[in-house]
Amino acid sequence: MLSRRRKFLPCLAILAIAMPHPVIAQEIDFGDDSSRYANDGECDDSRFSGSGMTSTVLLDSDIGADASDCSAAYERGDLTFLANIPRLSVEEIKWGDDSGEWANDSECDDVRFVGPAMADALLVDGVGKDASDCRAAYSAKSISLNPFFNAPADDKKIIFGDDTSAFAKDGRCDDIRFTGDYASETIYLVDDIGHDATDCKSAFESGEAIWQANDLPIKLGELPDEDAS
């Protein structure tokens, strides 16, 4: 059985509200500086995204606990404040089927969703392949949509994310939300969703990559055929 990669942290998968900073700034409660990582020049609060964020794993305990770093980066324009997206009806979502390896185990294994009913580890090849589990969890309101996958296919509205992927800025888009002729040569990872912004934005704007986050089936990359001559 394939080993399962670590869970895509829900705190990294939130969509930004599209409104000017001055309006949102009045509504943001940055919290305090009780985090052990406070005042280190990097924002560790998962409610934000952008170049002012730390490149390390975000912790729930740092939410609202790194105020000085996050507020400074936000005022510089290096962060976007994040918020949950509206909840769609069950009928509006493309659920797919139950062809996944971990289908019907009472956990949702589809990275298009986030929440307490999600599996402990997720793989990109589970998209649209755990319909019964995910639909039941969504109906019970124990998961919600992963906003990265609900963004519209519009270059002015897509939240490309940041460049914290290990493969960022290598000239190739490694985010499964996008696909193109290069896809068959790409090994997609959950950890790269929303974290290869520069490469994917460039590929999208040039037409090399197209948006596929709202489509089923998702076009996955393929592992090289070692037996091929």
pLDDT recorded at residue 25: 45
pLDDT of residue 76: 86
Q: What is the pLDDT of residue 224?
A: 46
Nearest to 209 by CA among 165, 178, 175: 178
CA-CA distance, 155 to 202, in Å (whole number)?
Answer: 10
pLDDT of residue 153: 54
DSSP helix/strand/coil, 210: strand
The pLDDT of residue 141 is 80
- 70 neighbors 43 (Cβ within 8 angstroms): yes
Mean pLDDT for each consecutive 10-residue tract of the chain (229 residues)?
Answer: 34 33 60 96 83 79 93 85 70 94 95 85 93 94 79 69 90 94 89 92 94 88 49
pTM above 0.75, yes or no: no
Q: Which residues does residue 80 pair with via DSSP β-bridges, in sequence order?
A: 49
- Residue 3, pLDDT score: 34
pLDDT of residue 185: 85
Task: List the one residue out of 190, 156, 158, 154 whose CA is nearest residue 175.
Answer: 190
pLDDT of residue 69: 97
CB 65 within 8 A of CB 34: yes
pLDDT at 152: 65
